[in-house]
Amino acid sequence: MAIAGSDRRSENADVLIIGAGASGSVAAKHLSDNGFKVVCLDQGPWVDNKEFAGARPEWELMAQKRWHPNPNVRDLENDYPVDVTESDVNPLMYNAVGGSTILWAAHWQRFMPSDFRVKTLDGVADDWPFTYEELEPFYEQAEEEMGVSGLAGDPAFPPTKPLPTPPLPIGKIGMKAAEGMNKLGWHWWPGPNAMPSKPYRGRNACVRRGTCLTGCPEGAKASMDLVYWPSAIKNGAKMITGARVKEILVNDKGLATGAVYIDRAGRERTQKAGIVIVCANGIGTPRLLLLSTSKRFPNGLANSTGLVGKRLMMHPYAAVAGVFDEPLESWLGPAGQTIQSMQFYETDKSRGFVRGAKWQVMPSGGPLGLRAAYGGRALEEAWGVNLHRNTKRVFGHAFEWGIIAEDLPEESNRVVLDPTLTDSDGIPAPKLIYKNSENTRKLIDFHLARAQEAMKAAGAVSMTTTPLMRDCGWHLMGTARMGEDPGTSVVDPYGKAHDVPNLFVYDGSNFVTSSGFNPTGTICAIALRCVKHLIANRRDQEIAA
Q: What CATH code is carried by the domain that includes residue 166?
A: 3.50.50.60
**Least confident segment among 84-88, 115-119, 170-174, 380-384:** 380-384
- Where is pLDDT greater, at 545 or 472? 472
How much helix, strand and coil, in percent to the nearest 5, is found in the chain?
30, 20, 50
Confidence (pLDDT) at 336: 86
Beta bridge partners of 256: 250
d(CA 285, CA 303): 12
Is 380 inside a domain boundary?
no
Give tens-digit pLDDT for 205-228. Answer: 999 999 999 999 999 999 999 999
Average pLDDT, the chain: 95
pLDDT bucket at 375, cuts 50 / 70 / 90: very low
pLDDT bucket at 370, cuts 50 / 70 / 90: low
**Helices assigned H by DSSP within 434-511:** 438-458
Q: How many CB atoms lie within 10 A of CB 349?
A: 9
Give tens-digit pLDDT for 333-362. Answer: 999 899 999 999 999 999 999 999 999 999
Question: Which one, of 9, 11, 12, 15, lies nearest residue 33 by Cα?
Answer: 15
Confidence (pLDDT) at 507: 98
d(CA 525, CA 520): 8
Is 8 inside a domain boundary?
no
Is 390 inside a domain boundary?
no
CB 59 within 8 A of CB 368: no
CB 34 within 8 A of CB 535: yes
Instruction: Say yes or no to pLDDT of 402 above 70.
Output: yes
Distant-in-sequence, close-in-space partners of 191: CB < 8 Å, separation ≥ 6 = 107, 150, 170, 334, 336, 337, 338, 339, 340, 360, 361
Give tens-digit pLDDT for 34-47. Answer: 999 999 999 999 99
Give tens-digit pLDDT for 411-465. Answer: 999 999 999 999 999 999 999 999 999 999 999 999 999 999 999 999 999 999 9
Give me the domain span that covers residue 173. 13-363+397-537
Instruction: Say yes or no to pLDDT of 6 above 60.
Output: no
Half-sphere exposure of 178 (CA within 13 A, CB side): 14
Question: Which one, of 210, 185, 168, 195, lies nearest residue 338 by Cα?
Answer: 168
Question: Which one, of 395, 370, 400, lies nearest residue 463 by Cα?
Answer: 400
Is 230 inside a domain boundary?
yes
Burial label, 127 (beta-carbon count in 10 A; 0-12, 13-18, 19+): middle
Beta bridge partners of 428: 422
Confidence (pLDDT) at 368: 75
Is 370 inside a domain boundary?
no
Question: Which one, of 393, 326, 406, 309, lies nearest residue 115 by Cα?
Answer: 406
Q: How many CB atoms lie within 10 A of CB 197?
A: 22
H or E stretch at 539: none
Give tens-digit pLDDT for 65-121. Answer: 999 999 999 999 999 999 999 999 999 999 999 999 999 999 999 999 999 999 999
Instruction: Say yes or no to pLDDT of 371 above 60.
Output: no
Number of H helices, E strands in the chain: 13, 17
Instruction: Say yes or no to pLDDT of 373 above 50.
Output: no
Confidence (pLDDT) at 381: 67
Confidence (pLDDT) at 389: 79
Q: Give the CA dihedral 287, 290, 291, 296, nearest 10 degrees.
A: 160
Instruction: Say yes or no to pLDDT of 291 above 50.
Output: yes
d(CA 10, CA 271): 7
Is 371 inside a domain boundary?
no
Task: Give the max Cα distance, the chain.
Answer: 70
Burial label, 85 (beta-carbon count in 10 A; 0-12, 13-18, 19+): exposed
What domain count does the chain have? 1
H or E stretch at 17: strand 13-18
Give tens-digit pLDDT for 501-518. Answer: 999 999 999 999 999 999
Is 491 inside a domain boundary?
yes
69: left (phi over 0), alpha (psi -120 to 50) or beta: alpha
CB 204 within 8 A of CB 79: no
3-state secondary structure of 510: helix
Confidence (pLDDT) at 374: 40
Pairing mode of beta strands 462-466, 339-341: unpaired
Instruction: Say yes or no to pLDDT of 132 above 50.
Output: yes
Is 61 inside a domain boundary?
yes
Question: Which one, of 244, 267, 247, lies nearest residue 258 by Cα?
Answer: 247
If you average pLDDT over residues 383-408, what whole number do you get? 88
d(CA 448, CA 401): 9
If you average pLDDT over residues 388-412, what whole number do you get? 92
- Where is pLDDT greater, at 372 or 21? 21
Pairing mode of beta strands 2-4, 238-241: antiparallel
DSSP 366: S
Confidence (pLDDT) at 390: 76
pLDDT above 70 covers what percent of the chain?
96
CA dihedral (95, 101, 103, 107) positive or negative: positive
